[in-house]
Structure 1
């Protein structure tokens, strides 16, 4: 077990414990609230911005302020709505005496969220000066291989890696080849 394993393990354990504490509905609906609130703000601000701008007194940044107010209002409203649903569902599960199931599923969701966040961090680290440290310690690491592949695999599932800039494609391809080579070496 390397120092990289200890760091990854502690961070992943923190995400899992936070998921156990918060529960499944808070974990998942919190993420949906952020993503959905952002989308609602982007889509709705353009439509509502002109209406709000017509109500505001005349000044130079009136339209910008109107868009910001609309985006913020829609984001906060959507996020708060999902938090209310999460709170209601948590109370419902506790009243049905299956709150443990909410907490257990929250631990799983927290672990998945942590794996995605750590994978994203490891992908970013591949472009920074610490990449040499990670490159040298990943050979001895048990957790590096599976965690580092979460983000690239999810991106391939949801989007086209061919649309990425060439240096990022190269990094992802090298990572994929390394995982395949290591799997072949482990099999031998």
Structure 2
């Protein structure tokens, strides 16, 4: 895998997430996330009861009826979250806090991008068996993730989250990206 391709893809995705966050605002991002999480939780929790209700009206197998109910519950919760998002945007616009909301949404998008970079970094370590592939050492995004990874790993271990052995911290050369020297050569 070419490091410049990885950096380009991650830069495009990061830009997209930041722009989306600026467009939707923090309220939109949070309500969308809550709607998705709530819809998933309620679909799993109420899917079997909803399936029984669906099976009373439509001749479906119990499994299919449960899936239909789960999809319906999920989309209903997402619709309610979208309505709440519209209401929140109207309230924020009325109180003249739209700019603050959009700026915070951009920061939220940047946070999502950071989580994605850390996920790619962790996946790269797992796939390579814990050894640092050459493309990771050459990629600016992966060097950034390598500099942040000890903090993430320590925080997860403090909370009792056991990481796979392949995610043990390698000795990744962070280089000039984080040392403030301003040069591009490692």
Assess, with a 3 A threshold, how the Cα gap between structure 1 residues 79 and 111 changes in structure 2: closer, same or farther: same
Alignment of 1:13-92 (within 5 A): 13-57=15-59, 61-92=60-91
Deviation at 1:154, TM superposition (A): 7.4
Assess, with a 3 A threshold, how the Cα gap between structure 1 residues 154 and 86 changes in structure 2: closer, same or farther: farther
Distance 1:92 1:154 in 2: 37
Q: Which residue of 2 aligns with 1:144?
A: 142
How many aligned positions are there?
A: 169
> Which segment is superposed worse, 6-15 or 84-93?
6-15
TM-score (norm 2): 0.73
Assess, with a 3 A threshold, how the Cα gap between structure 1 residues 68 and 124 changes in structure 2: closer, same or farther: same
Deviation at 1:49, TM superposition (A): 1.7
Distance 2:159 2:82 in 1: 26
8 Å contact kept, 1:116–1:151 = no
Assess, with a 3 A threshold, how the Cα gap between structure 1 residues 97 and 116 changes in structure 2: closer, same or farther: same
Q: Which residue of 2 aligns with 1:166?
A: none
Over 6 Å off, 4+ runs = none
Assess, with a 3 A threshold, how the Cα gap between structure 1 residues 100 and 159 changes in structure 2: closer, same or farther: farther
TM-score (norm 1): 0.72
Assess, with a 3 A threshold, how the Cα gap between structure 1 residues 155 and 34 changes in structure 2: closer, same or farther: farther
Structural RMSD (CA) = 3.2
Q: Which residue of 2 aligns with 1:104?
A: 103
Deviation at 1:118, TM superposition (A): 3.0
Assess, with a 3 A threshold, how the Cα gap between structure 1 residues 117 and 154 changes in structure 2: closer, same or farther: farther
- Larger relative contact order (Cα-Cα within 8 Å, sequence gap ≥ 6): 1
Distance 1:156 1:76 in 2: 36
